[in-house]
Amino acid sequence: MKSEVKRYLSNIVEVLEPRLEALLPDETETPASIHKLMRYSLLEGGKRVRPALIMASWEICGGAFGDDRPVLAGAAFEMLHTFSLIHDDLPCMDDDDYRRGKLSAHKAFNEALAVLGGDALCIYAFECLANLGNLEIIKEISRALGTGGMIGGQVVDIESEGKRVDRSIIEYIHTNKTAALIRASVRTGAMLADANEITLQHLTKYGKCIGLAFQVVDDILDEEGTTEQLGKDAGSDRAQGKATYPSICGMVESKQYATRLVDCATDALKPFGEKATVLRSLAEFVRNRVS
Amino acid sequence: MKSEVKRYLSNIVEVLEPRLEALLPDETETPASIHKLMRYSLLEGGKRVRPALIMASWEICGGAFGDDRPVLAGAAFEMLHTFSLIHDDLPCMDDDDYRRGKLSAHKAFNEALAVLGGDALCIYAFECLANLGNLEIIKEISRALGTGGMIGGQVVDIESEGKRVDRSIIEYIHTNKTAALIRASVRTGAMLADANEITLQHLTKYGKCIGLAFQVVDDILDEEGTTEQLGKDAGSDRAQGKATYPSICGMVESKQYATRLVDCATDALKPFGEKATVLRSLAEFVRNRVS
């Protein structure tokens, strides 16, 4: 099962990387510095989980093999995810020096360029999304990114630093900061394939559950992983007084919760039967991932 | 002529402000802090030149009175413009303490919230644009904003600080940093009204010329205006060693250049005859504005 997911993810990477490479302006194009930063931050990094979810969701909804649209959507999601990481790492935010095993953008370049490079990736993503030819998807993703989604979660995350918060706040942060965009990636794949409303509801439940599971596991890894495994500073959540599941509920309960969420995601896939093998394996992958 | 433009602009403000007010989440909505920042930065500020250009361009192309789309487009452009101002004012960028006569966003709130508030305004703008129902306009605006437009101009602007640059660099900065979005606003009004290719070409030339004129006048005002008149720190360009027209070409030539650009803009309006009164007056307004 595990090697099957790895194969799926590496296939995604194989299709996605040249597409990202071609979508971004060349390093020699003026202004060269920001193009270097964008390529440095976006290329050759990350597990590409969101593009994999888009593709698997597209396939389960009957999307045809070889269609470029789910790949383009995956590229846009990786740009958006990277935009959020670059801004999150800034000194005025989480102040993280490492990301994906190398210096974060503002350390490798400078702060001004990191702000603008993040902005540019966000804008490029919307250009890619416009090229998908589907306005509903642009609305869906804007909502997932805005203050009722990812940005909202990031605001509450920062404002909760060093405070004793209750579980409902953690739930709010993770539902918005991480799960909103993961949920949107699952929905985007289905919307591209013109899924019906009932199918979309099942996949939305799946997306929300694995989105939350992803972040709970992230919290656990931050406590238990090494900097080398994670590609970023281990233990940085605790050092910054971040509101995390382990800090509120303890490690045992956090692991149980991650398992419950993955079960809930798998449960939502029942109506799809055998067709859901990849999405089911991706949920398992989220539970078992090392970084 | 002058009072006619003022009436036009104040009519735009009267229609636009309640629309912006309604589009933004309420201050009481979670997370309240970022919604406060977004409203603080966006509402009751600015001359709303871009929405006026959209509306005038829409009207000259036969767009019907009372259609909501040019107003919604104007709202999106003001969100995008404000997003760029908030990020430009950050300490790692231009480090400006005042904007539109009040403390800039990172001074009135904090840096993290200013980065995220700018991000959120950019994302909200794309949601508004998606609601216009025209994918070509989203592509147009993404290109105007990206590294081949506004962001590209801002990068070169920052990287030219304190350096002796030649006129072609200044031209590059201003064409991209300021004129690209102004040109896009004129084109958006025309595209919304389904203008034909020739009309679009004339208006594109007009938009490019007044966009550049706008920035040349901005440079002149930064030298000659007072902080009170400008609503932001006067002389800050010189203090920061910014590449400006007056610093390269001198004040006399800069003023002549602004006049030539406004003439060029007016020239592009000839085919429209009497119908172009408002766009012509807006070009004059750009030349004569005090802040």
Residue labelled with tokens 């909103």: A180
Helical pair B69-88 and B150-159, crossing angle rounded to 10 deg = 20
> Which tokens sit at A226?
């090494």
Between strands A102-103 and A98-99, the pairing is antiparallel
Which residue in chain B is spatially nearest to A86 when comparing CA positions? B115
Mutate to test the interface with A, among B115, B171, B176 (most CBs of A within 10 A): B115
Q: Which of B160, B95, B277, B224 is nearest to A92 (CA)?
A: B95
Model pTM score = 0.96
Question: Residue A1: its pLDDT value, please?
Answer: 53
Nearest Cβ partner for A142 among B126, B133, B139: B126
**Cβ neighbour number for residue A170 with a 10 Å cutoff:** 23
Q: Measured between alpha carbons, how far is B37 from B214 in angstroms, rounded to an integer?
A: 27
Q: What residues of chain B lie within 8 A of the CB of A36, using their CB?
A: none
> Which tokens sit at B282?
């807006």
First-to-final CA distance of chain A: 18
Nearest Cβ partner for B35 among A93, A143, A147: A147
Q: Which of A176, A162, A185 is nearest to A247 (CA)?
A: A162
Mutate to test the interface with A, among B126, B150, B177 (most CBs of A within 10 A): B126
B66, amino acid identity? G
**Cβ neighbour number for residue A18 with a 10 Å cutoff:** 11
Average confidence score pLDDT of chain A: 94
pLDDT > 70: percent of chain B:
97
Q: Measured between alpha carbons, how far is B82 from B122 in angstroms, rounded to an integer?
A: 9
Q: Measured between alpha carbons, how far is A125 from A145 in angstroms, rounded to an integer?
A: 12
DSSP H helical segments within B132-235, as ranges?
Answer: 135-145, 150-159, 167-174, 180-192, 197-224, 227-230
Residue labelled with tokens 């698997």: A56
- Mapped onto helix, strand or coil, the DSSP state of residue A102 is strand
Q: Flag if B152 and A115 touch (Cβ within 8 Å).
A: no
Q: Per-residue pLDDT tens for B149-196?
A: 999 999 999 999 989 899 999 999 999 999 999 999 999 999 999 999
The number of residues in chain B equals 291
Largest CA-CA distance found in chain B, in angstroms, rounded: 52
Which residue in chain A is spatially nearest to B133 when comparing CA positions? A135
- Mapped onto helix, strand or coil, the DSSP state of residue A103 is strand
Confirm whether the ipTM is greater than 0.90.
yes
- Mapped onto helix, strand or coil, the DSSP state of residue A99 is strand
Q: Flag if A143 and B127 touch (Cβ within 8 Å).
A: yes
Residue labelled with tokens 């642009």: A138
> Which tokens sit at B271?
């085919």
Q: What residues of chain A lie within 8 A of the CB of B158, using their CB?
A: 112
Q: Per-residue pLDDT tens for A27-70?
A: 999 999 999 999 999 998 888 999 999 999 999 999 998 899 99
Closest-CA distance of chain A to residue B31, Å: 6
B138, amino acid identity? I
Residue labelled with tokens 């013109």: A194
Q: Which of A258-262, B57-61, B97-101, B267-271 has the lowest mean pLDDT?
A: B97-101
Q: What residues of chain A lie within 8 A of the CB of B148, using their CB?
A: 25
- Mapped onto helix, strand or coil, the DSSP state of residue A15 is helix
Nearest Cβ partner for B139 among A35, A90, A130: A130
DSSP B274: G
Question: Span B204-232, mean pLDDT?
Answer: 87
Question: Residue B290: its pLDDT value, please?
Answer: 58
Kindly write down the DSSP assignment for every residue of B80-106, as one continuous string: HHHHHHHHHTSTTTT--SEETTEE-HH
**Cβ neighbour number for residue A228 with a 10 Å cutoff:** 9
> Which tokens sit at A40?
């440095």
Q: Measured between alpha carbons, how far is B78 from B86 in angstroms, rounded to an integer?
A: 12
More confident residue, A142 or B46: A142
**What residue ranges define each of the domains in chain B, with the CATH number in brackets?**
2-286 (1.10.600.10)
Q: Which of B183, B185, B260 is nearest to B216 (CA)?
A: B260
